[in-house]
Structure 1
Amino acid sequence: MHTNENLITTPVTEELLRGALDVERTRRGLLPHRLPAAARRQIPDEQLATAEAQPSGVRLVFRTRATTVELDTLPTKRVYRGFPPPADGVYELLADGRLAARATVAGGNVREITDMVTQASELHEGPAGTARFCELPPGDKEVEIWLPHNEITEVITLRTDAPVEPPAPRDRKVWLHHGSSISHGSNAAHPSEIWPALAAAAGGVELVNMGFSGSALLDPFTARAMRDTPADLISLKIGINIVNTDAMRLRAFTPAVHGFLDIVREGHPTAPLLVVSPVLCPVQEDTPGPLAPDFDGGTLRFRATGDPAERAAGRLTLNVIRDELARIVARRAADDPNLHYLDGRKLYGAADYAELPLPDEVHPDPAGHRRIGGNFARLVFAGTGPFATAAR
C-alpha cells in the first residue's frame, strides 16, 4: 500500500457512507454492514454473515474539487477450493452521477470455501491495498465511490488532492429493497450495475440494498431491520432461496410471509410496499429443491434435486410460490391499498431466458442484470407503476 504524501488525508466517518444499516469500528477503520448488530447476533450461518457484510449498494459520498482520489481498504475475497480465484472486486467512482473511473484493490484477506454445500471455510489474512482514481473531472462535484458488491470491504483511509466536505442533503426518496443473490448482484460485473442500482438510478431514488446471497429466507430479524430503517418505498423479492434451500413447506411459508409483512408494516404502515415473486428459473419452476452444484464439463451449474410429485404434499416450487404470493397480497390488499404484487417473470421471463440465458441456470449475467433493472424501472417507477407517484 503506497501513500502519496502530497494528498490530504480525510478520516472516513459514518456520515460519508450511504446504503449501510450499521458500521463496525475496527482497529483499522470502518466495516459497513447491511444488517444492524442486533440482527447479526441472530444470524445462524456463515452464508448470511458473509453476505450482509459484503457492501452491495454501499457507497462513500462526499463533495470535492479533487482530480485524484485514493481509498485504502482491506478487502476479504471469497474463493472456492479447486477453482481459479475470481477477479478482484471493482470500485467505481461516479462524479455527479456519471461514471468517471474504476479501480481494484489487490491482496487482502482470502476466505477459502472448502465445501460448497456446508459453506465451511478457512480465512487467510493478507495486506490492505489502495484503490486509485486519477484524472477526474475538474471543479466542484459530488463523488460517490461504490464499494465492491461481492467483497467484504473494510474502509481505512481517504486521500485527495483537494479538501473533502460532507455531501449536501438529498431530497430523493429512499428505496429499501430485500431479495436474494440476484438482488445482491451475483454475476454482475460492477457494483453500480447490479439490477437494483440500475433501477434506482433510473427511478431517481436512493437505494438501500438488503439483497443477501442465499439468504432471503423470511428471517424475522431481517424484517425487524427493515421495520426500523427509514424508507419511503419498500420492495420484497420473495421465494427463490426458500425453494433452493428447501427451507419450508407451504404450511409454514404462508404464515411466514404474513408475519414478515406484519413486521415491516409496524414501521412503515402506509409506504408503498411491493411484493415481487421469483424471476424465471427453469430448473426450479416445477421441481422442488434443494439445489445442488453440478460441475459436469468443468463449469459450475445448479440443478434441483427434489421430486415434482411431492408438490401435493406441500413441497415448494417457484410456480407454487408465485400463486401463493399473489393470493396473499390480494387478500391483504383489501385492508392495505398500498400493498402491491409483481410477478417476477415480468422482470425476466421466458423470452428473456431465450435471449439471455442464465449461465449457471440460476443467476443472470451482466446483460441480464441490465434487463431486470430496466424492466423494474419501467414497471415500478414509471407510468402507473406502484412507486411512480411516491418516488417523485
Structure 2
Amino acid sequence: MTRPPKRRPEKKKRDRAGKRPPARALRGLPLIIAGIAVLAAGTTSGGVYAALTASESDAGDTGGGDTGGRPVAPPNADRGAPVTVADGGDVAPLRRVVPPDVLAVGTATIPAAKIRRLSKLKRVGEVTAVAGGAIQLQNRAVNALAVDPSAFRSWTPPGTAKNTALWTALAGDQFVTTPDVAEQLRLNRGTRYPIVGRTMPSLVLGGSGELGLPGVDMLVSEKAGTDMGLVPNVAVLVNAPGVDPATTVKAVEQILGGGVKIVNLRASEYQTSGSGRATSYLDLYKQAATTCPGLSWTVLAAIGQVESSHGRNVGPSSAGALGPMQFMPATWKAYGVDGDGDGKADIMNPYDAIPGAAKYLCANGAGRGGQQLYRAVWHYNHADWYVQKVLNLAKAYQAQYS
C-alpha cells in the first residue's frame, strides 16, 4: 500500500464517495482486561497428558452399560419440571462453550491458508477468525470485532455466552461492549450512538458483557463490521485443550510470522480477579463443589473433561444425554439446579449443569469420600473403568493446581 506524500493534520482523507478511510487493524493490545481462567490440566509427561486430552469422539459419549454413560434418576425420583434448553430465537441456542487459549491479532488480514494451517495443528480443537479494527465511540478509540453471534458466543466466558438477550441484540445489528467500556463512556442500553469507521453508522447499545479477550472492547455484527470497513480475518482465536499454552503460542507464532500480536489467554494476568462471579469452567467446578461438603472440585472437573471436554461436545449423545455434564433428561428433571438464579434450570448451561452434577454426586454420598465417592461416580456411569478414569483425572488435576 502506498502512503500519501504528505499528511495534512487539519483534514481527514476521504475516498471518492466522501467516506472515511477503512478502520485500521486493532491497535496494540493493552493487557488491561482480566480474561478467563481456562481449565486445562495438561503436562508434558506421557500418561497424564494423554488422559487429559480426551479426543472429541471420547468427550460426551463415554458409553457404560445400561446407564447410557450418563447419570440416571432412580425409579422413585421426583421428575420435577420439564427440561429447559434455552433457545435464542434469532441466534442459535448455546450448546457448548469453547475456551479460547490463544488470541492472535494482525495488522492486516491474516491469509486464509495460514488459518487453515492453524486448524490442522496437532491437538488444536477449534479455530475461528473474525474481522476487527479500531473505531471511534464517544470520541474514544476502541477495539471492535465483527462476529456471527450464533457462532462467536461459544468463545466468550460462560456468563456472557449464556446471555441470549445479548446475542439476540447483536444479531439485530446492535452493538455490545465490555462492562468497563460501558461504564467509562457512560453508555446506556437502548440508546443510539454514532460509531466512526469507514462510515459512521448510528447503532443501538444492546448490552454489555465480559468478553475475556484483552484489548477487545466491543462487538458488532458482521454486517455492521463490513459497513464500517473493519479488516476481515484480522483476529484469530485458537482452542487447544490440554496443551501447554507456551507450546500453542510457539506453534501459532511459527505459522503466522512477524507482525502479529499473540496473547496467551492462560497467562496469570488474565485469570479471574476473585470477584466471586465465575467466568470459567475452573471457577464453576470450584464453586459447585462447595455445595457438597467433602466433595473435591477436581472430581467435577474430571467428569467435565470425560463427558464433554469442558463444554466442547455437549451432545446429544447416542443415548440422548445433553449438556456440558451430559445428563439424561429424566435425571435432570430430578437433580437440575438453577445455578445462576435466572429462574430456570437449563441442562445446556454450565452455570446450572455443573452444580447439578455436584447435587447428583452428593445425593449418592460423594462427600463422604473413599468407597462412597467411588460408588457415587459409579452411579454417574455404571462402569468401573469410568470411575477409575475419573478418579485418576481428579488426582492429575489436584497435582496440577495444588
TM-score (norm 1): 0.30
Structure with bigger gyration radius: 2
Structure having the larger proportion of residues in strand: 1
Q: Which has the higher helix share?
A: 2
Q: Normalised by the size of structure 2, how large is the TM-score?
A: 0.30
Higher relative contact order (CA 8 A, sep 6+): 2
